[in-house]
Copies of this chain bind each other. A is one copy, B any other.
Protein backbone atom coordinates (compact mmCIF):
# COMPACT_ATOMS: atom_id res chain seq x y z
CA UNK A 1 0.00 0.00 0.00
CA UNK A 2 2.98 2.33 0.33
CA UNK A 3 1.47 3.83 3.45
CA UNK A 4 3.48 3.48 6.62
CA UNK A 5 1.34 2.60 9.63
CA UNK A 6 2.87 5.20 11.92
CA UNK A 7 0.11 4.87 14.50
CA UNK A 8 1.40 1.44 15.43
CA UNK A 9 4.68 2.82 16.74
CA UNK A 10 5.92 5.15 19.45
CA UNK A 11 6.70 8.80 18.85
CA UNK A 12 10.38 8.10 19.38
CA UNK A 13 10.39 5.35 16.81
CA UNK A 14 8.58 7.51 14.30
CA UNK A 15 10.89 10.43 14.97
CA UNK A 16 14.02 8.40 14.42
CA UNK A 17 12.55 6.97 11.24
CA UNK A 18 11.67 10.45 10.01
CA UNK A 19 15.17 11.73 10.59
CA UNK A 20 16.70 8.64 9.03
CA UNK A 21 14.51 9.15 5.99
CA UNK A 22 16.13 12.51 5.39
CA UNK A 23 19.55 10.88 5.50
CA UNK A 24 18.33 8.08 3.27
CA UNK A 25 19.28 9.83 0.06
CA UNK A 26 22.91 10.38 -0.99
CA UNK A 27 22.14 13.82 -2.37
CA UNK A 28 20.92 14.95 1.04
CA UNK A 29 23.92 13.37 2.71
CA UNK A 30 26.16 15.21 0.26
CA UNK A 31 24.32 18.47 0.81
CA UNK A 32 24.57 18.16 4.58
CA UNK A 33 28.24 17.23 4.39
CA UNK A 34 28.94 20.22 2.22
CA UNK A 35 27.03 22.73 4.30
CA UNK A 36 28.35 21.45 7.60
CA UNK A 37 31.93 21.78 6.40
CA UNK A 38 31.58 25.35 5.21
CA UNK A 39 33.08 28.17 7.22
CA UNK A 40 30.21 30.46 6.41
CA UNK A 41 26.65 30.43 5.23
CA UNK A 42 25.61 28.97 1.94
CA UNK A 43 24.48 31.21 -0.83
CA UNK A 44 23.90 29.41 -4.10
CA UNK A 45 26.40 27.03 -5.72
CA UNK A 46 24.80 23.86 -4.37
CA UNK A 47 23.42 23.04 -7.79
CA UNK A 48 26.91 23.10 -9.28
CA UNK A 49 28.44 21.21 -6.37
CA UNK A 50 25.92 18.40 -6.26
CA UNK A 51 25.07 18.16 -9.93
CA UNK A 52 21.33 17.76 -9.77
CA UNK A 53 18.88 20.23 -11.23
CA UNK A 54 17.87 23.33 -9.36
CA UNK A 55 14.30 22.18 -8.60
CA UNK A 56 15.61 18.86 -7.33
CA UNK A 57 18.12 20.51 -5.03
CA UNK A 58 15.40 22.83 -3.82
CA UNK A 59 13.24 19.87 -2.92
CA UNK A 60 16.03 18.08 -1.09
CA UNK A 61 16.82 21.25 0.84
CA UNK A 62 13.20 21.42 1.82
CA UNK A 63 13.28 17.90 3.24
CA UNK A 64 16.31 18.87 5.30
CA UNK A 65 14.61 22.04 6.45
CA UNK A 66 11.56 20.05 7.57
CA UNK A 67 13.48 18.30 10.34
CA UNK A 68 14.90 21.62 11.48
CA UNK A 69 18.48 21.12 10.42
CA UNK A 70 18.84 24.46 8.65
CA UNK A 71 18.73 27.97 9.98
CA UNK A 72 19.19 31.36 8.34
CA UNK A 73 17.23 33.51 5.96
CA UNK A 74 15.06 31.77 3.44
CA UNK A 75 13.66 34.71 1.53
CA UNK A 76 14.80 36.84 -1.32
CA UNK A 77 17.08 36.18 -4.21
CA UNK A 78 20.16 34.95 -2.42
CA UNK A 79 19.51 32.62 0.43
CA UNK A 80 21.81 32.47 3.39
CA UNK A 81 21.63 29.49 5.60
CA UNK A 82 23.66 26.91 7.46
CA UNK A 83 23.31 23.96 9.79
CA UNK A 84 21.35 24.54 12.97
CA UNK A 85 24.01 23.34 15.32
CA UNK A 86 21.70 22.76 18.25
CA UNK A 87 19.40 20.57 16.21
CA UNK A 88 22.37 18.83 14.65
CA UNK A 89 23.63 17.81 18.07
CA UNK A 90 20.14 16.76 19.05
CA UNK A 91 19.99 14.36 16.13
CA UNK A 92 23.48 13.15 16.89
CA UNK A 93 22.29 12.33 20.38
CA UNK A 94 19.20 10.58 19.04
CA UNK A 95 21.30 8.24 16.95
CA UNK A 96 23.80 7.81 19.73
CA UNK A 97 21.08 6.69 22.12
CA UNK A 98 19.60 4.36 19.58
CA UNK A 99 22.91 2.65 18.95
CA UNK A 100 23.87 2.57 22.62
CA UNK A 101 21.00 0.36 23.66
CA UNK A 102 22.19 -3.12 22.96
CA UNK A 103 22.50 -6.25 25.01
CA UNK A 104 25.46 -8.55 24.76
CA UNK A 105 24.26 -12.06 25.62
CA UNK A 106 23.60 -13.46 22.24
CA UNK A 107 24.27 -16.21 19.75
Give chain A's interface residues, CB within 8 Å of chain B: 4-6, 8-10, 13-14, 16-18, 20-30, 33, 36-41, 50-52, 71-73, 80-83, 85, 88-89, 91-92, 95-96, 98-107
Q: CB-CB < 8 A to A37: which residues of B?
A: 101-103
Look across to chain B and name the residue whose beta carbon is closest to the beta carbon of A102: B36
A24 x B26 contact (CB < 8 A):
no
B81 x A39 contact (CB < 8 A):
no
Partner of A13, one of B8, B9, B17, B33: B33
B95 x A99 contact (CB < 8 A):
yes
Look across to chain B and name the residue whose beta carbon is closest to the beta carbon of A39: B105
Cross-chain pairs A/B with CB under 8 angstroms, 22 sampled: A4-B25, A8-B26, A8-B50, A8-B51, A9-B29, A16-B26, A16-B29, A17-B25, A17-B26, A17-B29, A20-B29, A33-B101, A37-B101, A37-B102, A40-B107, A41-B106, A41-B107, A71-B107, A82-B106, A83-B102, A89-B99, A95-B95
